[in-house]
A and B are shown apart, each in its own frame.
Chain A
Amino acid sequence: MKFWERLGKIDRRIIYIVLAVVVIIPLILTVKLPGKVRAMPRTKDVFDHIENIDPNGKRRSILISVDFDPQTEPELKPQLEAVVRHAFARNIPLLVMALPIQGTDIGIEVFTRLAEEHNKEYGIDYVILGWKPSPVAVILGMGNFIEQVFPTDYWGTPLSELPVMEGIRNYDDVGLVMDFTGSSFYVYWVYYAHTPYDVPVATGVTSVSVADIYPFLGSKQFIGMLAGMKAGAEYERLVKDKYYQDQDIFLRGTQALPALSASLLVIILFVILGNISHFATRRKS
């Protein structure tokens, strides 16, 4: 029984070190999970929807809203990159905006890097709209006329001078609104874009909000969802298998997956051990 008691009083820093080791080792050893990552149905839904967007049709563009701060960047960036790669591979025009102010520069960083990798050109294949205050007024206003909300792009060029905006006027010309958020901005897109203007909306979220989003998935208010880093890995896999089979692209999420599995397992073990030690020592006293 002494063993359990001592285990119960273990220093928290030892636990920290165990977790750190469990995260670092699979990353360094570049452990690869056997088999392919199986995509969850919600992820597949998003992929299929983007597959079915016709880059020459009416609803031909995707509006990407980078609604996250640096705080949740590690979870959402793999998703964002995978979706952007997918859209670039299919030549879908992309409009990029942000509801929280810091999202703009995260978007710029990702897009400048990926555009160079994929030979895409600013103003022709994508446009950074930037940020405007009052999220509700921004989302609702874009349903009327995008240029009314964003008269110019992020760098001050009038939108009418950018070829990518040709024929894209409001949500009627948008095939999908893809919102990436670490907070509850997804609700705004349901309330103020999907409900009044009936534009398809999907969301990429941190795992924290995943369970809360299910009611909206059940009611088809979201056409799909990307759930945390795991979904980033799944989407990367789907995109790579279809478009980049022979190309070497950096799969941020896939690389992280073994470490994620290992650390979750360790945490489960911690809970079990902690409970055993708790009840063992309590019975004694």
Chain B
Amino acid sequence: MKRRIPLTLTLVLGIVMMIQFFIPHQFSQDFKNTALEWLRVIGGFAFIIGLASFITHHYTKIKHKKEGWAYSPIALGALVVMAVVGLIGRSPNMNWIPVTVQGQQISVFTYLFSNFFTHMMIPLGATMFSVLAFYIASAAYRSFRAKSLVSILLLVAAFVIMLAIIFYNVLPLGDLGEWLLSVPNMAAKRGILLGASLGGIATSLKIILGIERGYLGGTK
């Protein structure tokens, strides 16, 4: 029962949606629209899983005083503050504790929420990725070796693309880069795309047929 119900649901819904694709009749369209609406509603609740695992992860860390546990209260605190500020501050017509910002009266919660986003989340997120530029520079110097025919080809193609970007105004180089992207690159990527699509279809099929059942709970 614990396995049969979910497996049957997947099987039935998967096959029904596949058949729906081939039926243009109104009832089929109505069914599809309802299914999509329900899917959106159900999807709204999916965040619970992420939230639960985040809280338990940090809670156990603090409880057992694992390495680096001191940071966990910071993460949890940030979560609570942002959630409270957002839940209150993003409500329609919210004007608790108004403050004046650039001549507009807005709630202090709304004010904090938008500033937390633009002046904390954006810089933190964007900088985390920009650090990679330094790592690439270092790896370029220390590890990108032209040690085989394959890696020589790869490095040459990469150089052509980078030079084409820098000197795009200089015709032959820019056009060579464009050609590299739209002929050999497109051929390889299309081949890989076709293979990957077949892989995706096969995986979906296995999910529907209940052969692939990793989603039932991770371990066997």
Is any CB of A less than 8 Å from a CB of B in the complex? yes
- Complex: how many Å from CA A148 to CA B35? 13
- In this complex, what residue of A is CB-closest to B35? A137
- A215–B190 contact, CB under 8 A? yes
Question: Could you give, for residues 123-142 of chain A, a 1 whenever the CB lies within 8 Å of some chain B CB and a 0 otherwise?
Answer: 00000000011101110110
Question: Could you give, for residues 110-141 of chain B, a 1 whenever the CB lies within 8 Å of some chain A CB and a 0 otherwise?
Answer: 00001001100111111011100110111011
- B136–A267 contact, CB under 8 A? yes
- B159 interface residue, CB < 8 Å from A? yes
Stretch at the interface among B37-45, B59-67, B70-78: B37-45
- B185 interface residue, CB < 8 Å from A? yes
Q: Closest CB-CB distance, A252 to chain B, in whole Å?
A: 13
Stretch at the interface among A45-53, A171-179, A206-214: A206-214
- Complex: how many Å from CA A105 to CA B123? 14
| Chain B contacts with A in 141-172, Cβ cutoff 8 A | 141-146, 155, 159, 162-163, 165-166, 168-169
- B162–A274 contact, CB under 8 A? no
- A137–B122 contact, CB under 8 A? no
- A38–B128 contact, CB under 8 A? no
B40's partner among A16, A41, A141 (CB-CB below 8 A) is A141
Stretch at the interface among B4-12, B174-182, B201-209: B174-182
Majority DSSP secondary structure for residues of B touching A: helix
- B84 interface residue, CB < 8 Å from A? no
Q: How many A-B residue pairs have CB under 8 A?
A: 144
Question: Could you give, for residues 61-80 of chain A, a 1 whenever the CB lies within 8 Å of some chain B CB and a 0 otherwise?
Answer: 00000000111111000000
Tell me which residues across on chain A come within 8 A of B137, comparing CB atoms. 15-16, 18-19, 263, 266-267, 270
- Complex: how many Å from CA A205 to CA B117? 22
- A109 interface residue, CB < 8 Å from B? yes
- B166–A261 contact, CB under 8 A? yes
- In this complex, what residue of A is CB-closest to B180? A211
Tell me which residues across on chain A come within 8 A of B134, comparing CB atoms. 15-16, 19-20
- A35 interface residue, CB < 8 Å from B? yes
- Given known pairs A16-B134, A274-B144, A278-B145, the reply for A71 and B40 (CB within 8 Å) is no
- B92 interface residue, CB < 8 Å from A? yes
- B33 interface residue, CB < 8 Å from A? yes
- B36–A210 contact, CB under 8 A? no
Q: Closest CB-CB distance, A68 to chain B, in whole Å?
A: 10
- Given known pairs A141-B36, A141-B40, A274-B140, the reply for A214 and B186 (CB within 8 Å) is yes
A264's partner among B129, B142, B162, B178 (CB-CB below 8 A) is B162
- B40–A38 contact, CB under 8 A? no
- A155–B126 contact, CB under 8 A? no
- Complex: how many Å from CA A156 to CA B190? 43
Q: Closest CB-CB distance, A217 to chain B, in whole Å?
A: 8
- A102 interface residue, CB < 8 Å from B? yes
Tell me which residues across on chain A come within 8 A of B182, comparing CB atoms. 214, 217-218
B43's partner among A12, A134, A210, A266 (CB-CB below 8 A) is A134
Tell me which residues across on chain A come within 8 A of B133, comparing CB atoms. 19, 263
Tell me which residues across on chain B come within 8 A of A105, comparing CB atoms. 114, 117-118
A212's partner among B124, B138, B189 (CB-CB below 8 A) is B189
- A160 interface residue, CB < 8 Å from B? no
- A141–B181 contact, CB under 8 A? no
A270's partner among B39, B42, B122, B140 (CB-CB below 8 A) is B140
- B46 interface residue, CB < 8 Å from A? yes
Q: Closest CB-CB distance, B5 to chain A, in whole Å?
A: 21
- A251 interface residue, CB < 8 Å from B? no
Tell me which residues across on chain A come within 8 A of B37, comparing CB atoms. 137, 141, 148
Interface residues of A (CB under 8 A from B): 8, 10, 12, 15-16, 18-20, 35, 37-38, 40-41, 69-74, 102, 105-106, 108-109, 132-134, 136-138, 140-141, 144, 148-149, 155-157, 210-212, 214-215, 217-218, 230, 260-261, 263-268, 270-271, 273-275, 278
8 residue pairs bridging A and B, Cβ less than 8 Å apart: A15-B141, A38-B174, A74-B130, A134-B43, A136-B39, A144-B36, A218-B190, A274-B141
Q: A38-B174, A137-B43, A271-B144 are in contact. List 15 more A-B contacts (CB 8 A).
A: A18-B137, A37-B169, A41-B178, A72-B129, A73-B122, A132-B40, A140-B32, A140-B36, A141-B33, A141-B40, A155-B92, A212-B193, A214-B181, A264-B162, A274-B144
